[in-house]
Amino acid sequence: MPAKKKKTTATKNDIEKYLDKIVSGDCITAMKKLPDASVDLVFADPPYNLQLGQAELTRPDNSRVDGVDDEWDKFDSFKAYDDFTREWLSEARRVLKPHGAIWVIGSYHNIFRVGTAIQDTGFWILNDVIWRKTNPMPNFRGTRLTNAHETLIWAARDQKSKYTFNYRALKTANDDLQMRSDWELPICTGNERIKGDDGAKTHPTQKPESLLYRVLIGSTNPGDVVLDPFFGSGTTGAAAKYLGRHFIGIERDKAYIAAARKRIARVKPLEGDDLQTQPSPKAAPRVPFGQVIETKLIKPGAKLYSRNKNYSAKVRADGSLYVKDGETEIQGSIHKVGAAVQKAEACNGWTYWHYEEKTGLKPIDFLRDKIRKGMAG
């Protein structure tokens, strides 16, 4: 009989000193220092191993495409990439609490190898999720399909883990329809994209906060600890802080760390009630109310009013509304709460609820229209 494996000397309390900080260094080395069973969620955006060709890619107007040619994305072979993947996944699994879960994002270059490694490591896949980009880069040579999506894998630590899934919150954010495995979100551009003094992008592959927002709302609770072993520009940290979750970041590149620290320092967390989450036609693209929150056209905590201002409701992080009317509390989707305050059977929340603007009350449908027209963000 083998000797009983020596327990790691680190205790659960040791995790405290890592909370809301960025650890500088290689992700495998750094993870080895973390105690067993100490984090609730891992979100990982590992190198994709793109294997781009030698020649430069140009647009039809001859401008140059700034591809990912960073050293951190270079591996000698599939085997080298697999070895690396299996090692960091094993550490991630050890660090996870028994009921913890992991998210990994990738493209066709690496996601199949990552998914196989996830299964082989003992994780239990819950869903694969497709991030459909509203504004992907076209295929400039007309040689393949426009690569318009990336894939995320969501897996529990074990087949029997009681993983966190805020079904109601996601359903409410999706206009009372079950959240699907395909998520349509824009890529990270504009003000959200971190740039240096020279105007150049600080990180080549910065993820949009809206993506992390949905991941964290759906699969963590406030106060949970989220580990990101490939912290990069710190999107996970920014979203975690905003949503009242703790983060632990690991990053090798000093410049990325500096940019992430600065970025996260500017984030103002949601407070108290605003953090609470909730236990149609084809012609125009469907925009769920949750997306209005994700794109920050309305922030959690904001007030909405009926047109005559007879009723008001508070917006919460998942896109649910909250009304306190004397003794009774009402909460739910914009439609459900609209119906409830009117004591009606049904209600179109998009036209019933209004937000305050300089010029007066405007229906929130106006904001949905903005998103549809691409004027948001």
Site for its own copies in 44-73 (CB under 8 A): 56, 58, 62
148 binds its own copies (CB under 8 A): yes
Torsional sign, CA 147, 136, 239, 213: negative
Residue-level length of the chain:
377
| Residue 116 binds which of its own copies, DNA, none (CB < 5-8 A, kind-dependent) | its own copies
187 binds DNA (CB under 7 A): yes
Which are the contacts of 24, defined by CB distance < 8 A and separation ≥ 6?
A: 251, 252, 254, 257
Instruction: Indicate the pairing of strand 149-156 with strand 124-133.
Output: antiparallel
Which one among 15, 30, 92, 114 touches its own copies, defined by CB under 8 A? Answer: 114
279 binds its own copies (CB under 8 A): no
Q: How many residues bind its own copies (CB under 8 A)?
A: 52
The least CB distance from residue 271 to DNA, in Å, is: 27
Q: In this structure, what are the phi and psi dihedrals at residue 138, rounded to the nearest 5 degrees?
A: -70, 165
The least CB distance from residue 67 to DNA, in Å, is: 3
The least CB distance from residue 194 to its own copies, in Å, is: 27
Query: Which DSSP symbol is given to 99?
Result: E
145 binds its own copies (CB under 8 A): yes
The least CB distance from residue 104 to its own copies, in Å, is: 11
Among positions 70-109, residues that touch its own copies (CB under 8 A) are 78, 107-109
Query: Which DSSP symbol is given to 56?
Result: -
Please answer whether residues 110 and 81 qualify as being in contact, where contact means their C-beta atoms are separated by less than 8 angstroms.
Answer: yes
Task: Give the three-state DSSP class for 254.
Answer: helix
> Which structure tokens are listed for 292?
């209005």
Nearer to DNA, 5 or 373 (CB): 373
The least CB distance from residue 142 to its own copies, in Å, is: 4
222 binds DNA (CB under 7 A): no
Task: Tell me the CA distances in angstroms from 300 to 114, 173, 191, 199, 341, one per residue in order.
Answer: 35, 12, 20, 31, 20
Which are the contacts of 220, defined by CB distance < 8 A and separation ≥ 6?
A: 40, 41, 164, 226, 245
Binding span for its own copies by CB under 8 A among 37-45, 117-125, 250-258, 264-272: 117-125
Which are the contacts of 357, defined by CB distance < 8 A and separation ≥ 6?
A: none
138 binds DNA (CB under 7 A): yes
- The amino acid occupying position 33 is K
| Residue 132 binds which of its own copies, DNA, none (CB < 5-8 A, kind-dependent) | its own copies
132 binds its own copies (CB under 8 A): yes
> Which structure tokens are listed for 282?
């084809």
75 binds DNA (CB under 7 A): no
Task: Tell me the CA distances in angstroms from 129 to 60, 211, 277, one per residue in order.
Answer: 32, 11, 22
**Angle between helix 78-95 and helix 111-121 axes, rounded to 10 deg:** 50
Binding span for its own copies by CB under 8 A among 38-46, 116-124, 266-274, 284-292: 116-124
Among positions 191-220, residues that touch its own copies (CB under 8 A) are 218
Among positions 156-185, residues that touch its own copies (CB under 8 A) are 165, 167, 170-171, 178-182
Binding span for DNA by CB under 7 A among 32-40, 237-245, 262-270, 329-337: 329-337
The least CB distance from residue 132 to its own copies, in Å, is: 5
Task: Give the three-state DSSP class for 249.
Answer: strand
Binding site for its own copies (CB under 8 A): 56, 58, 62, 78, 107-109, 111-116, 118-120, 125-130, 132, 136, 138-139, 142-149, 151, 153-154, 165, 167, 170-171, 178-182, 218, 342, 344-347
